[in-house]
Amino acid sequence: MKAIVVGSGASGATIARELSKNGLEVLILEAGGNFKPFTRHVSWSEPFRKLGILGSASNINKIFPPMNSIKSSPDLALFRGITTGGCTVLTCGNLVRAEEGLHHIGLKLESEFQELENLIKVETFPENRWRPLSREMFKSAVKLGLDPESTPKAVNEKKCISCGLCELGCVKGARWDSRNFIDDACAGGATIKINSPVKKVIIEKGIVKGVETGSILGKNTYKSDLVVLAAGGIGSAQILENSGIETSPHLWADVVLTMGGIFKNAKMLKEPPMVWYSKQEDYILSPYVDILSHWFHKPWRKVSINDRVGMMVKLADSEEGKVDKQGKVDKNLSPKDRDTLKKASSMASLIMKESGVKGPYIQGMYNGGHLGGTFPLEAADVKNMRSEQLPSGLWVGDLSLVPRSQGMPTMLLAAAIGLRVARKILESMPDAAK
């Protein structure tokens, strides 16, 4: 049986690996090209950013093509990884169990979480390699009753050189990303085509027949018996809309706001980002230098990267946002989001103040890169992990299925969703078709 998997991120790679392992003929279609990490030292940008020559965050793909920026409202930028490995090559490498809103619909992923954690080998980053200021801020968070804990990571600390630039790709291969699973899938017989953005699913008389791709090189049609969309909350939604299937106006993004402070020679880039985190209601706090704000946010220009201190707020934002056929996104911060961010950023500033970090404490730019909720599961869908709204042979297998924003790292969740969907696909097939 022929299967097409659209996307090579955490979900798509996991699905492709599982289907290939079980004998299906798998074709992975990736919209972007082969990933190459950012190899320049951050200091190269100092004279340009101080003068504002780098412009706005929309220019990120000129500096670093795998990272795609979409302005969804005047003050909110959304980011996607359009490359082999999807967003996994652009993450901090955090692997936490995010499951907000899932138990409410009867979806329990504990077995998938455990299996993936064992497979990927999750561990925390040794405290003796944290920056002194990060240790001090951890102590301050403890004193403030915030119950911080070391962040589980998919980072091999023996290979890690503490460059602090995980989100721009790991030049040493110390951080796991989904290309490992793509390699497994291809070793099992799968193939991958890059620079192949899927435009729509081909559906005839309610049955999937394949997909159509389109690029500057022209259109192509690929036939298959089943199609699994794993292009993320924006990418999968756009494909569904172009295939005549309505999506939900409930896009979430786990909006990030980083509070910036000043500490002479803090050198926060001399450790991986987010070495610890504190889980609060609707958000987390974590030490983090926001490179996007450092490069593009005018209020941050006066402070060097060595002296810049950041404390991230990652918000479980309101599930309000829509993707159209052209991929345009309409999403704003709700009044509730702004209220929660105000409260959380005050706590972030207090942690820094208690740790000797000087002000002014300045907000970074609003941004989001965990994109989901555009084709959410309901309780009735959980048994088979698919909606009856879908035609025969079409599946969605990424964070689009998750109804609630997490306010947490979501790489493990995306992979777990993909694994559950892949196994439901296999269960639904007659043995002769495998």
Query: DSSP of 372-422, one letter per residue?
Result: B-SS---GGGTTTTS-TTSPBTEEE-SGGG--S--SS--HHHHHHHHHHHH
Q: Measured between alpha carbons, how far is 193 from 148 in angstroms, rounded to an integer?
A: 42
Instruction: Name the token pair of 244.
Output: 């005549």
Closest CA to 13 of 433, 421, 385, 386: 421
What number of other Cβ atoms are within 10 A of residue 280's Cβ? 17
Q: 220: left (phi > 0), else alpha (psi -120 to 50), else beta?
A: beta
Contact 277, 285 (CB under 8 A): yes
The pLDDT of residue 433: 61
Phi, psi of 205 (to 5 degrees): 50, 40
Task: Count the alpha carbons within 13 Å of 8 in the hemisphere toward its beta carbon.
Answer: 35
Q: How many H-runs (helices) and E-runs (strands) does the chain carry?
A: 10, 21
The pLDDT of residue 55: 79
Identify the architecture of domain 2-433 in CATH: 3-Layer(bba) Sandwich (3.50)
Q: Measured between alpha carbons, how far is 219 from 309 in angstroms, rounded to an integer?
A: 47
- CB-based burial, 367-398: b 16+ in 10 Å, e otherwise: bbbbbbbbbbbeeebbeebbbeebbebbbbbb
The pLDDT of residue 58: 80
Q: At what angle do helices 132-143 and 335-354 cross, to 10 degrees?
A: 110
- Backbone Cα Rg of the chain: 21
The pLDDT of residue 52: 80
Length, in residues, of the chain: 434
Q: 103: left (phi > 0), else alpha (psi -120 to 50), else beta?
A: alpha
Torsion of CA 257, 263, 264, 269, to 10 degrees: -40
Closest CA to 369 of 264, 259, 256: 256
Residues sharing a CB contact under 8 Å with residue 43, sequence separation 6 or more, in sequence order: 305
Q: What is the mean pLDDT of each run of 10 residues along the chain (434 residues)?
A: 98 99 98 92 73 79 90 96 98 98 98 98 97 99 99 98 95 97 98 98 98 90 98 99 98 98 97 98 98 91 94 99 97 98 98 98 97 99 98 99 98 99 95 60
Phi, psi of 403 (to 5 degrees): -75, -25
The pLDDT of residue 218: 86
Phi, psi of 363 (to 5 degrees): -65, 140
